C-alpha cells in the first residue's frame, strides 16, 4: 500500500494552520508548539514550502510564516513537487533502468496508473484539504 510521508502530512497540518491565520505571520516556534510538530523538521518543510510558492516568510520581531496569496490555486501535486515527494510509483518510471524492461508486460499498466494518479492529484487544490 502507498503511504504518505511525514513531510507531506506535517506540511498539510502546517498549511492548514497558516490558512486559518492568514492575516498574520506565525512564528515557527508557535506553530511547532500548537501543532505538536518537531521544530527542526518543520523548519526544513517551511523552506521547501517557500520555494514552492505556498507560504512566505518575514524576518524580525513580528516575523514568521504566513500563507502566500494565491496558495489556494496550488494543487496537492504542487505540494509533492515542493517537498521533493513526486517520485515515480515504480523505479522503471523514475528513469532507472530495469533489467526486465524488454518484454515487460506490466510497465504500460504502471504508466497508466502513474498518469491517472498525477492527474487526480493535480485536481485537488490545497484549499480543499
Confidence of residue 3 (pLDDT cuts 50, 70, 90): confident
d(CA 60, CA 51): 20
Query: Is the domain covering 6-128 a CATH 1.10.10.10 domain?
Result: yes
- Residue pair 52/73 in contact (Cβ under 8 Å)? The answer is no
Q: Which among 61, 58, 59, 54 is positioned nearest to 18, based on CA atoms?
A: 54
Q: Which among 118, 8, 26, 12 is positioned nearest to 71, based on CA atoms?
A: 12
Please, what sign has the CA dihedral across residues 129, 79, 4, 110? positive
> pLDDT tens-digit profile of 70-80?
898 999 999 99
Confidence of residue 1 (pLDDT cuts 50, 70, 90): low
pLDDT of residue 98: 73
Give the residues across from 65 on adjacent strands: 26, 57
> pLDDT tens-digit profile of 19-77?
998 889 999 999 999 999 999 999 999 999 999 999 999 998 889 999 999 898 999 99
The three-state secondary structure class of 8 is helix
Q: Locate the domains of the chain by residue range.
A: 6-128
pTM for this prediction: 0.86
- Residue pair 12/123 in contact (Cβ under 8 Å)? The answer is no
Place of cell 508486460: 105
- Backbone torsions φ then ψ of 77, nearest 5 degrees: -65, -40
Amino acid at each position: 500500500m502507498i503511504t504518505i510521508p511525514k513531510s507531506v502530512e506535517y506540511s498539510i497540518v502546517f498549511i492548514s494552520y497558516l490558512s486559518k491565520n492568514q492575516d498574520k505571520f506565525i512564528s515557527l516556534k508557535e506553530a511547532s508548539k500548537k501543532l505538536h510538530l518537531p521544530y527542526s523538521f518543520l523548519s526544513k518543510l517551511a523552506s521547501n514550502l517557500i520555494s514552492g510558492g505556498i507560504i512566505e516568510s518575514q524576518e524580525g520581531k513580528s516575523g514568521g510564516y504566513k500563507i502566500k496569496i494565491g496558495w489556494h490555486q496550488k494543487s496537492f501535486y504542487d505540494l509533492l513537487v515542493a517537498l521533493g515527494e513526486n517520485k515515480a510509483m515504480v523505479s522503471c518510471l523514475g528513469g532507472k533502468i530495469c533489467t526486465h524492461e524488454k518484454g515487460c508486460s506490466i510497465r504500460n499498466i504502471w504508466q497508466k496508473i502513474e498518469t491517472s494518479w498525477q492527474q487526480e492529484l493535480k485536481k485537488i487544490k490545497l484549499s480543499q484539504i
